[in-house]
Chains A and B, each alone.
Chain A
Amino acid sequence: MRVAVVGAGAVGRSVAELAADYGQEVTMLADSRGAVVDADGVDVAAALSRKEANGSVGDMEVSDALAAEYDVLVEATPTTLGDAEPGFSHVRAALESNRHVVLANKGPVAERYEDLRDLEHGSDGDVLFEATVGGAIPVLSAIDDFGPDHITAARGVLNGTANFILSRMTAEGLDYDHVLSEAQDLGVAEADPSFDVEGTDAALKCVILGNVLHDGGYSLADATVEGIRDIPGSALELAAEDGQTIRLIGEATPDGVRVGPRLVPENGTLAVTGTQNIVQLETTHAGRLNISGRGAGGPETASAVLSDVRRLE
């Protein structure tokens, strides 16, 4: 497949670099400032060094580049809330010219699911977005395999940063601020960690799960969201005395979408440690399914993107 990659952050960059390894060809690569197009295959390494030196992968306007020849658009620009722009417009451009779309950007699927599905219905192209939930973990394809009607609920740990902080606080008896700075030093938390520690990121993933399970109906505004910022070490100690611990748990159930710190058994399935993610699916006839793995990171998320690209072949 000829792949157009929009977004050259950790994920977009990894998709471009790993595409050949998955038998795909990158014919367009764009960042927020410019784009490069080559029908014979973009020289990814050269484009990325150009970005390093000049701030952009190429000189072409992104809107012009979106009109070039390709089979599938990989949308990997940063997630934005509300109108989910500019990601949504990129997706629209691709679907209106009957190309497939693979999303790593959560915005369009979480905030404008119905708009996205409408565009898809009017297009010969399909939309897949495995990478938006749980990074490398094949959550959405598992739901697709079982059929959304056979999954009654989904829950899990869907933010590695928050999980790292809670598990370090528990293991070392340190307070939130201390562990947060450590996480920032390690590159596990961003300079502004709000998106992760306030539960927004996990909520977007659960909103997407809710949309997939119930064929739409949810956006971030419909989710009940609590973060972990004000969980003191003493709460984790008290939980531990009782054989429990606290994890930031997201749920998509028929009752709605909810994210918040919850008590779980400390040796239970959901009490994953570090940046690990886990998703638990309740099935109608096959009991409970647990899938865990790396929920973030460039190559990890790119592998989910490239699996979607292969599904579209």
Chain B
Amino acid sequence: MSDSETPQPHTVRLELVDEPGQLLAALRPIADNGGNLLSIYHERGNLTPRGHIPVEVDLECPPDRFGTVVDALRKNGVNVIQAGAERYGEQLTVLLVGHLVDTDLSDTLRSIEKCASATLEDLSVSAPEGRDEESSARLRLATQAGKRADVLGVVREIADRKELRVVEPLAEGSK
């Protein structure tokens, strides 16, 4: 067997909504795509920041199949927090306030995505006084774990350049 075919252990962290059948629905894509389940640690009683239940799955599959397994999980609507060494799913919500239209909002968003290696998941804009006046936008960004501060730094920098105001989330103590 070549290295790419030798099954290797991988760990995937998922978060599940607390509803019947969720665990089974999350495991099926693993088996369907050639993954061999080694262990499942269902952390009942523990909640993720979004109020979901964290599940840690150890599985075995050839390294080149692992990406397919993770993609299949995502396609089935399962939220993958961590796959292998890579972590996803940390979210960051910020508000931008100012002349968003005049300063080219789409350019602002593109710059943030490009420089901050973050993905814009959700955008909401409110311009009650019309396009020429000050407006506000709420951005939800998906970042890699541990990158929150870096992403915030980039957002602040871009906002500064465009004379926009950033309202940052309070990272700690807000629960």
Residues of A within 8 A of B (CB): 153, 155, 230-235, 237-239, 241-242, 244, 246, 249, 260-265, 268-270, 280, 282, 288
B136 contacts A by Cβ under 8 Å:
yes
Q: Are B126 and A270 in contact (CB under 8 A)?
A: no
Q: Are A288 and B97 in contact (CB under 8 A)?
A: no
Q: Are A235 and B167 in contact (CB under 8 A)?
A: yes
Known interface pairs A235-B136, A238-B137, A268-B174; A262-B93 also in contact (CB < 8 Å): no
Known interface pairs A232-B136, A234-B136; A263-B94 also in contact (CB < 8 Å): yes
- Chain B hits for A238, CB < 8 A: 95, 124-126, 136-138
Which residue from chain A places its CB closest to the CB of B175 in the assembled complex?
A268
- Chain B hits for A270, CB < 8 A: 170, 173-174
Q: CB within 8 Å of A: which of B128-156? A: 128, 134-138, 140
Q: Can you list 28 residue pairs at the A/B interface with Cβ under 8 Å?
A: A153-B172, A153-B173, A155-B173, A230-B97, A232-B135, A232-B136, A234-B136, A235-B136, A235-B167, A237-B126, A237-B136, A238-B124, A238-B126, A238-B136, A239-B167, A241-B138, A242-B140, A260-B168, A262-B170, A263-B93, A263-B168, A263-B170, A264-B174, A265-B174, A265-B175, A268-B175, A269-B173, A280-B173
B42 contacts A by Cβ under 8 Å:
no
Which residue from chain B places its CB closest to the CB of A264 in the assembled complex?
B174
- Chain B hits for A280, CB < 8 A: 173
A296 to chain B, nearest CB (A): 22
B65 contacts A by Cβ under 8 Å:
no
B127 contacts A by Cβ under 8 Å:
yes
Which residue from chain B places its CB closest to the CB of A263 in the assembled complex?
B169
State which of B124, B136, B172 has its C-beta within 8 Å of the C-beta of A155: B172
Whole-angstrom CA separation of A268 from B171 in the bound complex: 13
What mask results when residues 105 to 133 of chain B are scored 1 for a CB within 8 Å of chain A, else 0?
A: 00000000000000000001111100000
- Chain A hits for B169, CB < 8 A: 244, 262-264
Nearest 4 pairs between A and B by C-beta?
Answer: A234-B126, A235-B136, A238-B138, A234-B136
B85 to chain A, nearest CB (A): 28
State which of A153, A233, A261, A282 has its C-beta within 8 Å of the C-beta of B167: A261
A199 to chain B, nearest CB (A): 13
Q: Are A264 and B170 in contact (CB under 8 A)?
A: yes
B12 to chain A, nearest CB (A): 28
Most buried by A among B125, B134, B172, B173: B173
Which residue from chain A places its CB closest to the CB of B94 in the assembled complex?
A263
B153 to chain A, nearest CB (A): 13
Whole-angstrom CA separation of A288 from B97 in the bound complex: 32
Known interface pairs A232-B97, A234-B127; A239-B138 also in contact (CB < 8 Å): yes
Q: CB within 8 Å of A: which of B71-114? A: 93-95, 97
Whole-angstrom CA separation of A307 from B11 in the bound complex: 57
Known interface pairs A262-B169, A288-B173; A244-B134 also in contact (CB < 8 Å): no
Whole-angstrom CA separation of A261 from B126 in the bound complex: 18
B162 contacts A by Cβ under 8 Å:
no
What mask results when residues 19 to 37 of chain B are scored 1 for a CB within 8 Å of chain A, else 0?
A: 0000000000000000000
Q: Are A231 and B167 in contact (CB under 8 A)?
A: yes
B165 contacts A by Cβ under 8 Å:
yes
Which residue from chain A places its CB closest to the CB of B133 in the assembled complex?
A232
- Chain B hits for A246, CB < 8 A: 95, 167
- Chain B hits for A233, CB < 8 A: 128
Whole-angstrom CA separation of A47 from B111 in the bound complex: 65
What mask results when residues 23 to 60 of chain B are scored 1 for a CB within 8 Å of chain A, else 0?
A: 00000000000000000000000000000000000000
Known interface pairs A238-B138, A264-B170; A230-B165 also in contact (CB < 8 Å): yes
Q: Are A263 and B95 in contact (CB under 8 A)?
A: yes
- Chain A hits for B170, CB < 8 A: 155, 249, 262-264, 270
State which of A155, A231, A249, A269 has its C-beta within 8 Å of the C-beta of B97: A231
- Chain B hits for A282, CB < 8 A: 172-173
B140 to chain A, nearest CB (A): 8
Which residue from chain A places its CB closest to the CB of B139 in the assembled complex?
A238
A45 to chain B, nearest CB (A): 45
Most buried by B among A263, A269, A270: A263
Q: Are B167 and A234 in contact (CB under 8 A)?
A: no
- Chain B hits for A239, CB < 8 A: 95, 138, 167
Whole-angstrom CA separation of A310 from B125 in the bound complex: 54
